[in-house]
Structure 1
């Protein structure tokens, strides 16, 4: 009885920890930027524009925070350089590598050099742009994480239900013959 309870607690712990590991997380930031200076940012950038993020392409399996994601933006205004239609800007995936956190459907002032930007470039959020149609596709990483969570929960549920239906070990010798014959299984 005590062992069954221990296994039940372990199964519950496994399910809860898988949800915590695979569930949503808040970004950590080890990036340190100087105070934003619009004049220096504009001098550094070869393209300064206002645009709306219409699609984000994140790597399905990121090996480091320095892996790059691509944001596709619809250009609304160009302040420096030349761009028309859509522009793709790359940035590190996560904050520890100073990656800029783009959100689809949001308007930004972007400072970019050679197609790259970062949290330290001086980019600014200008607000939501609900009037712009998004090009987004199915987020592969979210689907993989969701599927993995479902598999872990299903396995834990199967295991717990299987354990509950398992026959209990017999206490004492089991008799084979007719009631009261005194023969047990091992007398053969």
Structure 2
């Protein structure tokens, strides 16, 4: 009987040791408190807007922990309730729901509650984002929002023309060609 008990204890200890060695050292799971009303979510967010997802791409930005992979969702903004939000804006979130990431789908509209972290906006599963349900009243508790500001005229001029990095080589090439033509023309006349 003693040998059996000792063998069982040794087997249990061995199983526990092997289990601890092969299991991951850190597990990730998302657990959120109730997000609250739309007004409460607005109050605790830096930016609140409604927009259509134009693109979702992998991001190198880090949220919370370095091991958490992130994505960047680019929005075409339709209406703003809070914050400095441009017509096009990027929001970072964790890649999957297990790490509290919110899954944005391209072409879909969302009411987004985001917070500023450095120079970027971040959101997640616990922020209380809402997929547009097609009704005009889904964001009614927030009141009327505003249209995002138009791009400044100076920004539009810069975006319509190539950057200086592209222009300078073109200008230099044109200058060299004009100089070469003038030298050629002068030599041709001298003959």
The structure with higher relative contact order (CA 8 Å, sep 6+) is: 1
Calculate the TM-score normalised by the size of structure 1: 0.48
Calculate the TM-score normalised by the size of structure 2: 0.47
